Structure 1
Amino acid sequence: MKYHFASIIVLLTTLVSCSGKKAGEVENHWPYAGITYEIFIQSFYDSDGDGIGDFNGVTKKLDHVKELGANAIWFMPIMPSPSYHKYDVTDYKAVHPDYGTMEDFKNLIKEAHKKDIKIVIDLIINHTSSEHPWFLESKSSRENPYRDYYVWAQKDTIADFINKKTITLDSDNIRQWHDPGFGEDFYYGFFYGGMPDLNFDNPKVREEIYEIGRFWLEEVGVDGFRLDAAKHIFPDDRPEDNHAFWKEFRQKMQAIKSDVYLVGEVYDRKEVVAPYLPGLPALFNFDFHYTLIEAYQKEDGMLLAKKQKEVLDFYLDITKDFIDATFSSNHDQQRLLNSLDQNPRKMKQAINILMTMPGAPYLYYGEEIGMLGLKPDEHIREPFLWDIKANDKGRASWIDPVHSIDDMVTPLAIQKSMSTSYFNHYKEIIKLRNSNRALALGNLELYEGELAQPLMAYFRSHKDQAVFVAHNLSDVEQSLEIPEEYQKVLYTFGSADLQDQKVKLPAYSTIVIERQ
């Protein structure tokens, strides 16, 4: 078998060898292969009874993140904003008062670090809120010093573009130029008029952004940033300028914190995503999410395995130092269980696939208890169910949930006592991954033997450790033969079985076998 992903493996091997851990013990492989838990604070845990989740609520529930097996938390936006989602910032050096105080947040970071949990925050620098003081100044006059903080054009120069409909993978906005009410000068806002884009051709804007990064890393103490809308810093017809900016951003942030973690949202196919890697060493793998769902829809097991290998090999041609941020769902997609026809076996198998593939997996809050959610976005971000409603003092109530309600989703407190619950399933497969270096750190090699179409099969190997993994993505039993050196069954789901080197895989089952 060939050893792809090699440079990352060398780095990880060095880190692991210094840890003093023995084979089979649970290890923390973050950032290169660790697990990050995404939280929308507004819906997580309400500590003060105002209906809105808050920093102190997260602090109270850090043990949940730890018990699950995650190594880091990514917080959706926490800065002041007029919107519930907070992706339109009005103050880059403050926290939203609904969530608590800056001291509350610093305490959260301190307590998380005590538990060896890293903290990553959303940093939204492509645009601000139209209520940000910079924009209020900018639109006040053409002579204002903040005018060039944003992108302005006279109406007659952009007449052909004002009503142009542009629909992209990450926006269904039908126009990008907006009238602030004067009728002459229009400003650019890729997502919508309430989010005017910053002008990164202006050196002053770039310096403002670098200072904001310094503030959060140095004065507040976060471990890194998730960079929203990273593809749109400059217009889509200037990709080289985007790549150059992120290289500069990375250099500036590393000068402040040498081990800063940067993960970018570049919502596109791999050919567009890969050139961002030198500036954003971690990038979300949207192909993984969509191909996972497609594989179930088509009952084509190797579709995802082949796609993942293709992506990893493609990235290696760009740089040897990258983090593949895989995910099965997030705050922009419908809940995973909804995508999988609300089939519990598919749901549990999907997390098996995520945790046995290469990468640094992201988990969206609530997936571990099988929360439900469909668009609009508010309803894929509904409150976490900690206990039955009568006992759930920390359940947020800022929105009336439609999908994740007690009649449809079993709360965590009950799931903890159920051996077959989603929560205990997540814990089990995450623990396996965190205690098996081949699964966490290993390269990916595809099974080359004869396979029925619904089967997904591959090898993961790291140094002298190797495992074989197989999943049946159909409701009909399948079988396959494997090499004789793979005999030690490490994990089964759905009554999968190994007899005389023949693997039997009932409907939606998984097996992991170690090489002897």
Structure 2
Amino acid sequence: MKHWWMESVGYQIYIKSFFDSNNDGIGDINGITEKLDYLHLLGVNLIWITPFYDSPMDDNGYDVRDYYKVSNMYGTIDDFERLIEKAKSLGIKVILDFVLNHTSDEHPWFVESRKSRNNPFRDYYIWQDPKYVNGKRLEPTNWGSFFGGSAWKYDEATNQYYMKIFSDKMPDLNWKNPKVMDSMINVGKFWLELGVDGFRMDAVSHLERAPFIDSAFSKDIVLDWFKFSNLEGNHTYLKELNEKLFKPYGAFTIGEVGGEASIDEAIKYSSFTSNEMSMVFNFDHNWKNNVFDITDLKDLKVDVIGLKKVLSKWQETFKTIGWLPLNWLNHDQPRVVSHYGSMDYHSESAKMLATIMYMSRGTPFIYQGEEIGMTNYPFKSMDEINDVSTINSYHNQIKDRPNDKEMILKKSLMTTRDHPRTIMQWSSQKNAGFSQNKPWFHVNPNFIEINVSKQLSDPNSIFAHYQKLISLRRFSNYKETILYGDYQMILQDHPTIFSYIRKGPQKLVIIGSFSKDNETFDTNNLKFKKLVLSNYKDVILVNNKITLRPYEAIVYEVEESL
């Protein structure tokens, strides 16, 4: 069973920070169109664009006010149709975010819903009566929100609470109401008929709700994933969406199911026989270091063994029954070279991380700027933060632990979702070549050194390495092995070497070092035929042992085991 998306290389565009075509300081649709030639040069043939729908921008567009309208700040439907036309001329497929769990509180459905208890749109959302204890009005349950505080918001007009597991301005849709399903199917049809090739399904694991009973985890407000994550009803909704929307249009779908979805849940969502989605993003591998336990980045350590276990587990489980995305980050996670690499070996570590991820079985999704090694931003205060979840979480923690203010600040700044959202670094010119005017968000001070323009002219750049990796996947005689070959992790218990074998028409060994020191890789049971890829100019191989230099990455074609 082969599909076009298995042989694609994806690229996520965070539109607001990608490229500003009209110099208002905000990235836009025409900016993406202008840069499609760049993406074509990189070699990607699938792009995922984050929301550009009409929105009050409480959560950077994931709070949709009108699913059928492009936000004025991003352009028009006509602009989008031109983008689709150019993308198709370059052989680039386009998928969009489909925000299914919630809308903005300014969406016409919710504006109507909150007017009265008997409004026709009332049941588009989840409303519950208050709970009263000793005459005091309380939330219907003690469930917490992902963005801090309660998952309920009181609405005085009708003396009820609406559920919102994210921001107060993002009320949750009630998927038990068939009219919600019908309405969202119509939204999907609109964009598919405009020419999009599918959707990244935002927060898709949260469509169902458990009975409205307090969490036993605490008497206070508590975030209890089990009340609204990966519940059985989710699969019912997705099967119906697939049958009525995705399948008739041949749409590619990739779901965001988070770090709490088990392997078994992922199989239900996206095995070849699930009839729900093409594949799912999980985040099990995104936090395999000690970033939450430290306050100084010099103490950052990667759990390489843990990383290997997680990635190997997903590869092994899905080797015959489904397909996986390959990604280091998205718009919610830290820049990978800051998170798992080394600023002392910036280029080497960026190339090594790319090699060990994108030589795996699955469909790569490169996040904008990753291909040039963009890094986390040096945030110094909460005044520099834009992300609503970071701000809410910070203030909630300060309220609970006022004596820990300094530590809470440091941790918040290290882990904020704003790191990947800084401005794309196109050149060493003003505002990193993003706009002639002041950008909406920060430009990392290192844009002078780290930018697209500089790397395009350097055959040894990180960008050039990504090009080679993508070319190997799409056009080389190793394509079949890289795409569909077996995956076998070796040296599972080595604390710094990440290595695995891909076996198909050929046999490839992929080796990456997470160490700043030299490491030794024993090759006694391998007979090398050809060096396929390396991030150093040569390989030090003496007496059947490779000396791996700091963050070295090597791909060899090898003979069958001796």
Show the counterpart of 2:409.
none
Matched, 1:405 2:408: no
Show the counterpart of 1:8.
none
C-alpha separation in 2, matches of 1:431 and 1:137? 52
Which residue among 489, 492, 495 is the counterpart of 2:534?
A: 492
Show the counterpart of 2:280.
283
Show the counterpart of 2:232.
240
Which residue among 25, 48, 59 is the counterpart of 1:74?
A: 48
Deviation at 1:160, TM superposition (A): 6.0
Deviation at 1:380, TM superposition (A): 2.7
Residue identity in the other structure for 2:35 = K
- Higher mean alpha-carbon deviation, 47-56 vs 99-108, is at 47-56
Residue identity in the other structure for 1:245 = Y
Matched, 1:423 2:466: no
Matched, 1:176 2:151: yes
C-alpha separation in 1, matches of 2:268 and 2:364? 21
Show the counterpart of 2:390.
none
- Higher mean alpha-carbon deviation, 262-271 vs 399-408, is at 399-408
- Decide whether aligned partners of structure 1 residues 33 and 321 sit closer, same or farther in structure 2, where only a CA change above 3 A counts: farther
- Decide whether aligned partners of structure 1 residues 300 and 502 sit closer, same or farther in structure 2, where only a CA change above 3 A counts: farther
Which residue among 144, 147, 151 is the counterpart of 1:166?
A: 144
- Decide whether aligned partners of structure 1 residues 92 and 213 sit closer, same or farther in structure 2, where only a CA change above 3 A counts: same
Which residue among 513, 518, 521 is the counterpart of 1:472?
A: 513
Which residue among 267, 273, 277 is the counterpart of 1:274?
A: 267
C-alpha separation in 2, matches of 1:445 and 1:255? 33
CA RMSD in angstroms comes to: 2.7
Show the counterpart of 1:512.
555
- Decide whether aligned partners of structure 1 residues 398 and 240 sit closer, same or farther in structure 2, where only a CA change above 3 A counts: farther
Show the counterpart of 1:41.
15
- Higher mean alpha-carbon deviation, 281-290 vs 56-65, is at 281-290
Show the counterpart of 2:312.
309
Report the 3-state secondary structure (helix = DSSP H, G, I; strand = E; otherwise coil) of the residue aligned with 1:179.
strand
Residue identity in the other structure for 1:289 = N
Residue identity in the other structure for 2:144 = T
Matched, 1:221 2:195: yes
Q: Deviations over 1:188-234 (max 9, x none)?
A: 1111210001111111111111111111112x110000011011111
* Alignment gaps of 5+ in structure 2: 210-225, 292-298, 378-412
TM-score by length of 1: 0.85
Q: Deviations over 1:133-176 (max 9, x none)?
A: 00000000111111111111111389664573636xxx242211
Kept in 2: contact 1:149–1:199 (CA 8 A): yes
Show the counterpart of 1:414.
454
Aligned pairs (5 A) from 1:292-371: 301-315=304-318, 320-339=320-339, 340-343=341-344, 344=346, 345-371=348-374
Report the 3-state secondary structure (helix = DSSP H, G, I; strand = E; otherwise coil) of the residue aligned with 2:156.
coil
Deviation at 1:416, TM superposition (A): 1.5
Matched, 1:60 2:37: no
Matched, 1:102 2:77: yes
Which residue among 425, 435, 442 is the counterpart of 1:385?
A: 425
Show the counterpart of 2:168.
193
Kept in 1: contact 2:203–2:257 (CA 8 A): yes
Which residue among 212, 230, 252 is the counterpart of 1:261?
A: 252
Deviation at 1:430, TM superposition (A): 2.5
Deviation at 1:290, TM superposition (A): 2.9
Kept in 2: contact 1:162–1:176 (CA 8 A): no
Q: Deviations over 1:458-485 (max 9, x none)?
A: 11012x2211111121122222124344
- Decide whether aligned partners of structure 1 residues 312 and 423 sit closer, same or farther in structure 2, where only a CA change above 3 A counts: closer
Residue identity in the other structure for 2:457 = S
- Decide whether aligned partners of structure 1 residues 32 and 221 sit closer, same or farther in structure 2, where only a CA change above 3 A counts: same
Which residue among 433, 447, 457 is the counterpart of 2:499?
A: 457
Q: How many residues align?
A: 479
Kept in 1: contact 2:8–2:363 (CA 8 A): yes
Show the counterpart of 2:212.
none
C-alpha separation in 2, matches of 1:452 and 1:210? 49
TM-score by length of 2: 0.79
C-alpha separation in 2, matches of 1:401 and 1:128? 24
Q: Deviations over 1:228-272 (max 9, x none)?
A: 1011111244711011211211112234312x1000000024344
Q: Deviations over 1:327-363 (max 9, x none)?
A: 1111001222321353413222111111122221111
Residue identity in the other structure for 1:457 = S
Report the 3-state secondary structure (helix = DSSP H, G, I; strand = E; otherwise coil) of the residue aligned with 1:372.
coil
Deviation at 1:390, TM superposition (A): 3.9
- Higher mean alpha-carbon deviation, 62-71 vs 336-345, is at 336-345
Kept in 1: contact 2:9–2:363 (CA 8 A): yes
Matched, 1:210 2:196: no
Kept in 1: contact 2:102–2:172 (CA 8 A): yes
C-alpha separation in 2, matches of 1:452 and 1:195? 45
